[in-house]
Structure 1
C-alpha cells in the first residue's frame, strides 16, 4: 500500500460516512443557533427555522420574521438568514454528495464555516446593545461538525 493509499485509508476510518454527516447537519436544526438574553430574565432562542421568545412565549418562523417583522431592525440581524442560507447550501452539498457518492468537503466545510462566522456577527450585534447578551451556539455546533466530519478530509487534500 502506497503512502497516499495509507493516508486515504486512515482518513476514511476517522471520518463519519455521508449518511452520518447528513444526520449531524440535520441535528443542527434542533440546536438554538443563538440565544439572546435581555436584562438577564427574558430570552429569545434563534433556530435555523425561526425564533422562540420566552416572555411572552411565542414562536415566529424565519420567513415570517423576514417579511413581517424586519422593518426598522438593525442590519446585523440579516446575518441570521445569511447563516441559514449557507447552512442550507452545505446541507444540500452533503445530501448530493451522499446520493451521488462524491462530495467536495471543501465546499461543504467552507459553507458551514461561513454560517458559523455569520452567527458570530449576529451575536456580536446583539451583545453590543445595552442590557443584552448573546450566545452563538451554532458557531460551536457548526465548527464541531466541520472539525469532526470534514477536517480529516481537508487535511488529507492539503498534504
Structure 2
C-alpha cells in the first residue's frame, strides 16, 4: 500500500487553483480598533480595504486597492508590505493557473504563497505596536497553511536537496 503525502488527495491542479483563488476573498489582516465605544473593524483584502465603524455609519465602506496607488502611493500609515503581499499572491495565482496546462512548478507556487503569507504577517506586526489595535492575520496564516499543505513536499525538497557539483 502506497503512503499518501499530505495534500495529495486534493492536489489536482484545479483544486490548487481554486484554493489559491479563494485566498483572495479572505482578508489578509483584520484590525479590531477599540476607541471606547463600538469596535471599529478594518479588513485589508488583496483587492480592497473594508471599513466598518458602527458609531459613524451603519454601512460598510469598501475602498479598492487601485485607489491607493492612483492617489500617488497614498497607502494607509502602516501596511508597507501590503502591496508586496498582493503581488506575491497574484503571481502565485498565475503559477497555479499554469497547472491547468501542466506547466506549474510547485516550488515556485509554494514559495510565492509562503512569501505572500510572510508579507501579510509583516503587515499584521506593523499594527501590533499601536494601542487599542488588535491585528488578526487571517489570510496571512491561511496563505502559509496552503503553501505547507499543497506545496510542502516540493518546498522541502527544494530547500533541503543536496547541491550537485559538476
Same fold (TM over 0.5): yes
The alignment's TM-score, normalised by the length of structure 1, stands at 0.82
State TM-score, norm by structure 2. 0.79
Q: More helix per residue: 1 or 2? A: 1
Determine the structure 2 residue equivalent to 1:91: 93
Q: What does residue range 63-142 of structure 1 map to in structure 2 within 5 Å?
A: 63-68=66-71, 70-71=73-74, 73-74=76-77, 76-99=78-101, 101-142=102-143
Whole-angstrom distance in 2 between the partners of 1:72 and 1:83: 14
Q: How many residues align?
A: 150
Query: Shift in Å at residue 91 of structure 1?
Result: 0.7
Find 2:43's aligned residue among 42, 45, 66.
Answer: 45
Structure 1 residues 44-68: Cα deviation after superposition (integer angstroms, max 9, x where no partner)? 0111110110014200001112333
Unaligned runs of 5+ in 1: 1-5
Gaps of 5+ in 2: 162-166
Q: For CA contacts below 8 A with separation 6 or more, give which structure has more relative contact order.
A: 1
- The RMSD of aligned alpha carbons is 2.4
Is the CA contact 1:116–1:139 (under 8 Å) kept in the aligned structure 2? yes
**What is the alpha-carbon distance in structure 2 between the residues aligned to residue 139 and residue 84 of structure 1?**
11
Q: Residue by residue, what CA displacement relative to the aligned partner does 1:115-148 show, whole Å, maximum 9, x if unpaired?
A: 1111111111112112212111112110121121
